[in-house]
Chains A and B, each alone.
Chain A
Amino acid sequence: MSEPLLEVDRLGVEFVTRHGDLRALDGVSFSMAQGEILGLVGESGAGKSLTGRAIIGLIDQPGRICGGTITFEGRRIDNLRSADLRKLRGKRIGTIFQDPLTSLDPLQRIGDQLVETIRAHLPLNAAQAREKAIALLGEVGLPAAADRMRAWPHEFSGGMRQRVVIALALACDPSLLIADEPTTALDVSVQAQIIALLRRLARAHNASVLLVTHDMGVIAEAADRVAVMYAGRVVEIGPVADVIARPWHPYSRGLMGSIPSLREEVDRLTQIPGAMPRIGARPEGCAYAPRCPKAEPRCRMAAPPMIEAGPRAAACIVEPAP
């Protein structure tokens, strides 16, 4: 087995506030192989976006990494200076955020934004960069790419803008893409196009994708493996088909059951009682125990470790491996 492209090991992130230090991420560990698409799924507040931002060093104040390591292409990146991080972002790690309108500069033409990004990271002259920008726009499916170079972001629809953002993210042939809810702001018919595009381009460029989303459907269609997050921890990780068909952790099972299906009819959806505990109010032991139908007293004693079984792992000491 070759060395993983990205290795996140017991990552912790805390927010320093007047009320004390709040642990937002608590021992998050996973690794990604070259070319793999890993889905990071969870409800709001689970820490999935924060995990993505921690990797690229973009945690908002007053947050900070308080433990663990992030290793990317064989070197630690969690303790880099901001100038080194900036070089890494954009060049080796591309990012795609939810709202394409906020990731594009509204006062700069599409082409100029692409050329600027390319020239900032690659040793190309203006003409070469322009050529590469046109090729990229063509690759993400923008018709008449050369003419669109002079267009402004507001002239594009949401789907087209997200295509431009993907072109920007891929501009310097990064080996890792962090896509945070890339299709959430789009309509379903456009969403399907963007998912397909992301998959195709990741394969073509041999880039890995960390796909952060709350939408299990998107994960099911796009990802190879999935990590399910709950209250700042990864509770289950494994191949997508396995986790969806036979969820191991009781939370994953509840999550899958609560999603209405297009194919089958059920009278009642599975209901997880209560809501995810807020940051700062997380219980001792397994954070899911208060909502878990299988919880035992020992679940509340200590945070359960990840138990491995083949390609899968889950943080549950009660449920046997499926």
Chain B
Amino acid sequence: MSRAILSVQNARRLFDVSKPWLERRLSGEGRRYVHAVEEISLDILAGETLGLVGESGSGKSTLGRMTVGLLAPTAGHIAFEGGEVAEAARAGRLQMIFQDPFASLNPRWKVVDIVGEPLLARGGGGDVKQRVAELLTLVGLSPVDGEKYPHEFSGGQRQRIAIARAIAGEPDFIVADEPTSALDVSVQAQILNLLRDLQRRLGLTMLFITHNLAVIRHMADRVGVMYLGRLVEIAPTRELFAAPRHPYTRMLIEAIPDPHAPKRDRAPISGEIPSPIDPPPGCAFHPRCPLAFDRCRRELPKLIGGVACHAVDEVEPRTASPGG
């Protein structure tokens, strides 16, 4: 069993979306908050890839940003190897790869400067050019690409540049937030293969965030499923896909169109995700859940044994193997 490198404890993040003060006074309204992340606790183990999956508004990106120190939790605590996340971030031990490689690279900088910046920031001195050339080779580009600007590259190549920059400072932990969602499938396959190779070679720990279940199944060792700011299920990837327990996880797996196994005549799931400003009481999933009963409408289910669901809780004996 490997040790936890990053530990999230009861992390919570609200965003203030109130109207301006005067409007609030005139209409007699109070402040309003988006509950982006609600009381999440999880550990990320050294060397693993933890996948976070959920639909838009589930809070997965907010959680990802908190783990690299880009956002501070409103309440709760996130520790990196027992210390503060902000400190580890300053030391360059945490890095992030973003979704849109057209927005994440400075268009006025040459590639060699983009990739070399983290090296200089750490006082790398020495032969930065040489190191950048190595990094570019490592991500499948050519060393001469260093003299070019981002606009000269395709989306997939730009994402390779972003990856080279992320690994330049030899971080311990990388958050990849939808790194292939803006790419075409054939290019997505290249980037996913590259990330897996790099992770194995460099022994990286990774938090991989995506809405695509097939991608997460391919990339992650363990998967956490989020719904409206809460973690509803977390399990090793194989277990989660072989025997999903939370009704929402089952629904998600059922809903994905898979060209390798199309299913045409299934009953589609009803309803849409409620607003995170005003989440339903009790279990947030109850309005869409086929198993919901009274308790679900009143009481928030706790994450017990990797799943937060009253129905699963009451039906499944605690010691039994997951499934059923």
Could you list which residues of chain A lie within 8 angstroms of chain B, going by C-beta atoms?
43-44, 157-160, 187-193, 195-196, 199, 214-221, 240, 244, 254-266, 268-273, 275-276
- Whether, in the assembled complex, B261 has its beta carbon less than 8 Å from a beta carbon of chain A, the answer is yes
- Whether, in the assembled complex, B74 has its beta carbon less than 8 Å from a beta carbon of chain A, the answer is no
Closest to B238 in A: A265
Q: How far is the CA of A244 from the CA of B260 in the complex (A)?
A: 7
Could you tell me the distance in whole angstroms from the C-beta of B31 to the nearest C-beta in chain A?
22
Interchain Cβ contacts under 8 Å between A and B, 14 examples: A43-B184, A43-B185, A43-B187, A189-B55, A190-B272, A192-B269, A214-B184, A220-B257, A259-B214, A260-B214, A263-B261, A272-B190, A273-B190, A275-B184
Could you tell me the distance in whole angstroms from the C-beta of A24 to the nearest C-beta in chain B?
17
Q: What are the residues of chain B within 8 A of A216 when measuring CB–CB?
A: 185, 259
Q: How far is the CA of A204 from the CA of B189 in the complex (A)?
A: 38
- Whether, in the assembled complex, B268 has its beta carbon less than 8 Å from a beta carbon of chain A, the answer is yes
Q: How far is the CA of A241 from the CA of B212 in the complex (A)?
A: 23
Q: Which 4 A-B pairs have the closest CB atoms?
A: A217-B257, A258-B189, A220-B262, A43-B184
Could you tell me the distance in whole angstroms from the C-beta of B255 to the nearest C-beta in chain A?
4
Q: How far is the CA of A216 from the CA of B217 in the complex (A)?
A: 18
Those of B68-101 within 8 Å (CB) of chain A: none
Contact with A along B236-253 (1 / 0, CB 8 A): 001001000000000111
Given the known interface contacts A217-B259, A271-B193, the answer about A189 and B186 at a Cβ–Cβ threshold of 8 Å is no
Asked if A272 and B252 sit within 8 Å, CB to CB, the answer is no
- Whether, in the assembled complex, B284 has its beta carbon less than 8 Å from a beta carbon of chain A, the answer is no
Q: What are the residues of chain B within 8 A of A254 when measuring CB–CB?
A: 186
Contact with A along B162-197 (1 / 0, CB 8 A): 000000000000000000000011111110110010
Q: What are the residues of chain B within 8 A of A220 when measuring CB–CB?
A: 257-259, 262
Q: A220-B262, A272-B189 are in contact. List 12 more A-B contacts (CB 8 A).
A: A43-B184, A188-B252, A192-B266, A193-B270, A216-B259, A258-B185, A261-B258, A262-B241, A263-B258, A265-B218, A273-B190, A275-B184
Among candidates B186, B257, B273, residue contacting A218 with C-beta atoms closer than 8 Å: B257
Q: What are the residues of chain A within 8 A of B193 when measuring CB–CB?
A: 268-269, 271
Asked if B259 and A275 sit within 8 Å, CB to CB, the answer is no
Could you tell me the distance in whole angstroms from the C-beta of B250 to the nearest C-beta in chain A?
11
Given the known interface contacts A192-B268, A269-B192, the answer about A258 and B186 at a Cβ–Cβ threshold of 8 Å is yes
Asked if B256 and A188 sit within 8 Å, CB to CB, the answer is yes
Closest to A187 in B: B55
Q: What are the residues of chain B within 8 A of A256 when measuring CB–CB?
A: 259-260
Q: What are the residues of chain B within 8 A of A272 when measuring CB–CB?
A: 186, 189-190
Q: How far is the CA of A262 from the CA of B55 in the complex (A)?
A: 17
- Whether, in the assembled complex, B108 has its beta carbon less than 8 Å from a beta carbon of chain A, the answer is no
- Whether, in the assembled complex, B56 has its beta carbon less than 8 Å from a beta carbon of chain A, the answer is yes
Closest to A159 in B: B272
- Whether, in the assembled complex, B264 has its beta carbon less than 8 Å from a beta carbon of chain A, the answer is yes
Could you tell me the distance in whole angstroms from the C-beta of B220 to the nearest C-beta in chain A?
11
* Of listed B186, B252, B264, residue having the most chain A CB within 10 A: B186
Asked if B217 and A262 sit within 8 Å, CB to CB, the answer is yes
Q: How far is the CA of A113 from the CA of B213 in the complex (A)?
A: 37
Q: How far is the CA of A187 from the CA of B258 in the complex (A)?
A: 15
Q: How far is the CA of A219 from the CA of B215 in the complex (A)?
A: 18
Asked if B259 and A189 sit within 8 Å, CB to CB, the answer is no
The range of chain B's interface size is: 35 or more
Among candidates B56, B217, B257, B260, residue contacting A215 with C-beta atoms closer than 8 Å: B257
Closest to B194 in A: A271
Asked if B211 and A188 sit within 8 Å, CB to CB, the answer is yes
Asked if B255 and A188 sit within 8 Å, CB to CB, the answer is yes
Closest to B273 in A: A187
Asked if A221 and B189 sit within 8 Å, CB to CB, the answer is no
Among candidates B55, B192, B252, B257, residue contacting A195 with C-beta atoms closer than 8 Å: B257
Asked if B184 and A260 sit within 8 Å, CB to CB, the answer is no
Asked if B184 and A44 sit within 8 Å, CB to CB, the answer is yes
Closest to A243 in B: B259
Closest to B190 in A: A271
Asked if B190 and A217 sit within 8 Å, CB to CB, the answer is no
Q: How far is the CA of A199 from the CA of B251 in the complex (A)?
A: 20
Q: What are the residues of chain B within 8 A of A196 when measuring CB–CB?
A: 268
Closest to B254 in A: A192
Q: How far is the CA of A203 from the CA of B180 in the complex (A)?
A: 35
Given the known interface contacts A189-B251, A217-B259, A221-B264, the answer about A265 and B192 at a Cβ–Cβ threshold of 8 Å is no
Could you tell me the distance in whole angstroms from the C-beta of B126 to the nearest C-beta in chain A?
33
- Whether, in the assembled complex, B318 has its beta carbon less than 8 Å from a beta carbon of chain A, the answer is no
Asked if B214 and A261 sit within 8 Å, CB to CB, the answer is yes
Q: How far is the CA of A41 from the CA of B185 in the complex (A)?
A: 11
Given the known interface contacts A188-B55, A214-B184, A271-B190, the answer about A260 and B215 at a Cβ–Cβ threshold of 8 Å is yes
- Whether, in the assembled complex, B104 has its beta carbon less than 8 Å from a beta carbon of chain A, the answer is no
Q: How far is the CA of A199 from the CA of B215 in the complex (A)?
A: 26
Asked if A259 and B256 sit within 8 Å, CB to CB, the answer is no
- Whether, in the assembled complex, B154 has its beta carbon less than 8 Å from a beta carbon of chain A, the answer is yes
Asked if B213 and A262 sit within 8 Å, CB to CB, the answer is yes
Q: How far is the CA of A196 from the CA of B251 in the complex (A)?
A: 15
Could you tell me the distance in whole angstroms from the C-beta of A221 to the nearest C-beta in chain B?
4
Q: What are the residues of chain B within 8 A of A192 when measuring CB–CB?
A: 255-257, 266, 268-269
Could you tell me the distance in whole angstroms from the C-beta of B317 to the nearest C-beta in chain A?
28
Given the known interface contacts A43-B184, A187-B56, A191-B255, the answer about A262 and B263 at a Cβ–Cβ threshold of 8 Å is no
Asked if A260 and B261 sit within 8 Å, CB to CB, the answer is no
* Of listed A216, A219, A266, residue having the most chain B CB within 10 A: A216
Those of B260-297 within 8 Å (CB) of chain A: 260-264, 266, 268-270, 272-273
- Whether, in the assembled complex, B156 has its beta carbon less than 8 Å from a beta carbon of chain A, the answer is yes
Q: How far is the CA of A284 from the CA of B196 in the complex (A)?
A: 35
Q: How far is the CA of A280 from the CA of B266 in the complex (A)?
A: 44
Could you tell me the distance in whole angstroms from the C-beta of A146 to the nearest C-beta in chain B?
21
Q: What are the residues of chain A within 8 A of B255 when measuring CB–CB?
A: 188-189, 191-192
